[in-house]
Chains A and B, each alone.
Chain A
Amino acid sequence: MKKIAESVKQMLPTLTPLEAPEGMTKEEMTEIFYKMSLIREFDSSVKDLWMAGEIYGLAHSYVGAEAIGVGACMNLEKTDFISSTHRGHGHTIAKGGDVKAMMAELYGKYEGSNKGKGGSMHIADIGIGMLGATGIVGSGMPTAVGAALTSDVLDNGSVAVCFHGDGGTNQGVWHESMNLAAAWNLPCIFLTENNHLAIKTKLNESSKETELYKRAIGYGIEGIAIDGFNVFEVYKTMKYAVEKARNGGGPTLVEARFVRILGHFVADDQKYRDPQEEIDAWTADPVRRIKEYLYTRTDMFTQEEVDQIAADARAKVDEAIEYARHECTEPPADSLYTDIYANNEVIL
Chain B
Amino acid sequence: MAENVVLLKRNGSVPQIELTFGFAQFAKYRILLFDEQGRNPVEIAHGINIDAIPDKFPIGTSVAALDGHFVTWQAVIASPTGGPGQQFSQKAIFTQDDSTCPNSPFTQAGTLTNTITTFDQAKFQVVE
A and B: partners? no
Task: Please report A residues at the B interface, Cβ cutoff 8 Å.
Answer: none
Task: Please report B residues at the A interface, Cβ cutoff 8 Å.
Answer: none
